[in-house]
A and B are shown apart, each in its own frame.
Chain A
Amino acid sequence: MMIPFLNELKSGLEYLGGVKEDSPESLPKWLQSPWWWGIWWAALILLILMFSGQSSKFIYIDF
């Protein structure tokens, strides 16, 4: 039971990451909706923005 579940999870993550074009059959329909894709793309953009400053040297962090 674990292995099929893990395989479905992998397929789902690959679909979300753009590795697979077609959604896995087991993926819930709401994860294929434009609403979800908009949320996902926005989440990726905001994550990138939040974490992209790690090479900046912070001496003061009182701001």
Chain B
Amino acid sequence: MSRKSVIAGIVVALAIVGAAELLTRRLASNSVPRQRIRVIVSAPKSIDVLGMGNSLMAAGFDPAAFEEKWAKAGRSCTAVNGALGATGPIEHLALTRLAYRGHSVAILVYGFFDQQLASNVAVKNSEIIGNHSMLYYLEPELTLRYAGFDLCDRLLFRAYSSLALLRERGAIWAKVERLRRTMASVGTPGEQTNQFGRAADFALLEANDSRAFRLSCERVIRSNQFLSAPVAALFRQALQQGSMVVVVEMPMHPEHIKRFYDQPIWADFRTKTRQYVERTGASYLNASTWIQDKSMFEDHLHLSAAGAHDFSQRLAEYLLANPTGLLSPDG
């Protein structure tokens, strides 16, 4: 092939890849993180209750059920669920800051489980896939500040931010992952799934065993750092804007409670975490035992739709009865 032909071929290849880039930008405009961003941006200017957190809150907080309870008490209410599955504290901070741009929020409800408030937020660029991809475009400076990137990851982060094919690669890969799961299911017993994926996978979010759980609690207690930097910044932001912040220990499956929360270390951890949270000006609510019926859970961590309805209505009752959030931290 002549030089001219090779160059022509390269130009054609670049043009096709460029077209794929434009198509990806277009298709990604309706990705799940962007849908969540739109929900927040298009919410009424005055938000009474903003739910924030990861999939536990995304699945567990039912704004309609919450509003219904307040309406029955004669209080109108605008509740918004800004939580998003498969996200971390940096995303929660970015989403919270987005909510406060152009909106007022009376109550911020931040849901968590286990040692999530204190968990290490360091992330590598290779891990920014799926819903984490919002780190590339929603206040990327927050990611550069909190993610603990080395120089290589910093450069890659900047490069990936500018190309939709790389930024949204997780969404592309998810299609392949679904193909793989279909292939893997051929000739094998079916696996239990829920709205987020395979139920068994969520066991990976729990500690391996009670010993590992205990060691994680002890590690946090020893470090005396009960809130990671972005979580602390999130609370600070909300409190400075005049919101009441309620940090909720989310309802846990009875198996999870029996395996982990019934350990003495957890009571100690919870006490210290509560003290730390309350020192920031936020209030702490232990809702871990609010739902005891196993059928109200999709898996060991996530509430089902019925469970979310019950939890949200009970949360609404609690906030009605505790307008300052400082009474009865055990619900």
Contacts and interface: CB of A to CB of B under 8 A. Distances in A.
Determine direct contact between A and B, CB below 8 Å. yes
Interface residues of A, number: 25
Contacts of B8: 34-35, 38
A35 B12 contact: yes
Contact of A34 (B5, B17, B33): B5
B140 interface: no
Nearest to A62: B196
B130 A60 contact: yes
Interface in B186-230: 195-197, 201-202, 204-205
Given A46-B20, A50-B172, A63 B131 contact: yes
A49 to B, nearest CB: 6
B95 interface: no
Interface residues of B, number: 45
Contacts of B15: 38, 42
Contacts of B39: none
Given A53-B170, A63-B33, A42 B130 contact: no
Given A63-B170, A63-B171, A37 B205 contact: no
A52 B196 CA distance: 22
Contacts of A45: 13, 17
A30 interface: no
A51 to B, nearest CB: 6
Contacts of A50: 172-173, 175-176
Interface string A35-63: 10111011101100111111011111111
A46 B171 CA distance: 14
A39 B165 contact: no
Contacts of A57: 204
Contacts of A51: 176
A52 to B, nearest CB: 8
Contacts, number: 111
A37 B12 contact: yes
Given A34-B1, A53-B173, A61 B16 contact: no
A18 to B, nearest CB: 12
Contact of B178 (A53, A59, A61): A61
B55 to A, nearest CB: 7
A51 B183 CA distance: 15
Contacts of A63: 31-33, 86, 130-131, 133, 170-171, 174
Given A54-B180, A56-B129, A61-B196, A38 B12 contact: yes
A62 B31 CA distance: 10
A60 B165 contact: no
Nearest to A58: B177
B122 interface: no
Nearest to B6: A34
Contact of B16 (A34, A38, A58): A38
A38 B11 contact: yes
B174 A58 contact: yes
A50 B169 CA distance: 8
Contacts of B242: none
B177 A38 contact: no
Interface in B100-153: 126, 129-131, 133
Interchain residue pairs A-B with the least CB separation, the first 8 = A38-B12, A53-B173, A42-B16, A34-B8, A37-B9, A60-B86, A41-B13, A34-B9
10 contacts: A50-B173, A50-B175, A53-B170, A57-B204, A58-B197, A58-B201, A59-B202, A60-B197, A61-B130, A62-B32
